[in-house]
């Protein structure tokens, strides 16, 4: 199957297809990394309203199309998530690397917690990348 367009993705998730939504989702897909709301606005060429962008992001997150992370920073970052994954972030230069490493939350819930199931998890690693380790 070929990759779905932003419009199709929105429709698949039962969302009205508006141009802001298409643009935001498209920008997120292009970015291929976590990006903050304001940076997203810049990427869109300033034509979109910031409140609308925030509302759009909330919607996309609620549908699971986009993953929201609150790093140590105080602003939220949003990433289009075609496939679940995590990041390793360099605390010196901000370089971000994707990692396939994950954890089996289902098994884990039984072994290590009293919850029957775990719906989601946040996992981020911090270190100094090889370039910054002189």
Contacting residue, 5, 52, 81, 95, with DNA by CB under 7 A: 52
Contact flags string 98-127 toward a copy of itself, x per CB under 8 A: -xxx-x-x--xx-xxxxxxxxxxxxxxxxx
Question: Of 18, 84, 85, 29, which Cα lies nearest the Cα of 55?
Answer: 18
Is 17 a binding residue for DNA by CB under 7 A? The answer is yes
* C-alpha dihedral sign at 90, 93, 99, 105: positive
Is 83 a binding residue for a copy of itself by CB under 8 A? The answer is no
Residue 54, token pair as written in the block: 């925030």
47: CB partners within 8 A, 6+ apart:
none
Is 121 a binding residue for DNA by CB under 7 A? The answer is no
**DSSP code for 20:** H
Taking the C-alpha atoms of residue 94 and residue 78, their distance in angstroms, rounded to an integer, is: 16
- Please give the size of the binding site for a copy of itself, defined by CB under 8 A: 39
* Beta carbon of residue 69, minimum distance to Mn ion (angstroms, whole number): 9
Please, which residue, 22 or 96, has the CB nearer to a copy of itself?
A: 96
Interaction residues for Zn ion, span 84-123 (CB under 5 A): 102
Is 41 a binding residue for DNA by CB under 7 A? The answer is no
Is 51 a binding residue for DNA by CB under 7 A? The answer is yes
Length of the chain: 134
Please, which residue, 30 or 102, has the CB nearer to a copy of itself?
A: 102
* Beta carbon of residue 66, minimum distance to a copy of itself (angstroms, whole number): 13
Q: With beta carbons less than 8 A apart as the criterion, state whether 131 and 95 touch.
A: yes
**DSSP code for 68:** E
């Amino acid at each position: 199957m070929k990759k779905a367009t932003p419009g199709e993705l929105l429709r698949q998730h039962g969302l009205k297809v508006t141009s802001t939504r298409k643009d935001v989702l498209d920008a997120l897909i292009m970015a291929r990394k976590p990006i903050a709301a304001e940076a997203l606005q810049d990427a869109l060429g300033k034509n979109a309203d910031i409140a609308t962008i925030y509302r759009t992001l909330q919607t996309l997150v609620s549908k699971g199309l986009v993953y929201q992370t609150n790093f140590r920073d105080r602003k939220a970052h949003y990433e289009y998530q075609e496939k679940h994954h995590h990041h390793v972030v360099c605390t010196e230069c901000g370089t971000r690397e994707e990692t396939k490493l994950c954890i089996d939350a289902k098994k884990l819930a039984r072994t290590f917690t009293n919850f029957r199931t775990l719906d989601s998890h946040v996992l981020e690693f911090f270190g100094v990348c090889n370039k910054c380790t002189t």
